[in-house]
Amino acid sequence: MVAALLGLSGVAVASGVFDTAVREITLPLRHEDVIRQQAADKDLDAALIAGVIYTESRFRDGQVSSAGALGLMQITPATAGDIARKSGGSLFEIEDLASAQVNISYGAYYLRYLLNRFGGDEALALAAYNGGEGNVDRWVTAATQRGESFRVSEIPFPETRQYVTRVREAERAYRARYPRELGL
């Protein structure tokens, strides 16, 4: 009887470890303390930040894109310099983007800026995060001139259109799988 109970508890433990391993592979989460802190500081949804990080880097530290974007949230040096100036980061150096704290802080700052700039429209903010503010301005202006509202399906850059969709899907997945970890 005792052996049977121990066997069942071993299965339960192994199952829990397996579930955690599968979750880590399919939808990893790291630096959740920094994500929660930055979400609170920048009045952002922690699941949105996690969704952007997942889409940008799959939570792999040290990522560098072909365009030179760095770190978890894939911040370009030019964008980082602008954020440093606007946020008072006077001692900032590009190498600082390798730090999860700095990278997530700068990425969250930029997300908040874009959400403010585009009237809280998450899709437009995400499109700008990926495709650039000027492009989004042009797309919205063109839709307005036609007397229409801008829709994600009208984003002319396939990469940006897919990016917005992927971030929003990841955001929903993080909200469902990690509510406690993200403080939701």
Which residues are known to be catalytic?
A: 56
CB count in 10 Å sphere of residue 173: 16
Query: What share of the chain has pLDDT > 70, as a percent?
Result: 86
Is residue 57's pLDDT more than 70? yes
Q: What is the mean pLDDT of residues 153-171?
A: 95
pLDDT at 62: 82
Question: Quick check: helix, strand or coil at residue 85?
Answer: helix
Mean pLDDT taken over the chain:
87
Confidence of residue 164 (pLDDT cuts 50, 70, 90): very high
Give how far Cα 39 sits from Cα of 47, 52, 101, 111, 143, Å.
9, 13, 12, 10, 31
Question: Which position has the higher pLDDT, 104 or 2?
Answer: 104
How many Å apart are CA 171 and CA 167, to the nearest integer? Answer: 6
pLDDT in tens, 142-161: 999 999 888 889 899 999 99
How many Å apart are CA 171 and CA 4, to the nearest integer? Answer: 42
pLDDT in tens, 80-138: 989 988 887 767 788 888 999 999 999 999 999 999 999 999 999 999 999 999 999 99
The CATH number of 31-177 is: 1.10.530.10
Boundaries of every domain in the chain? 1-30, 31-177
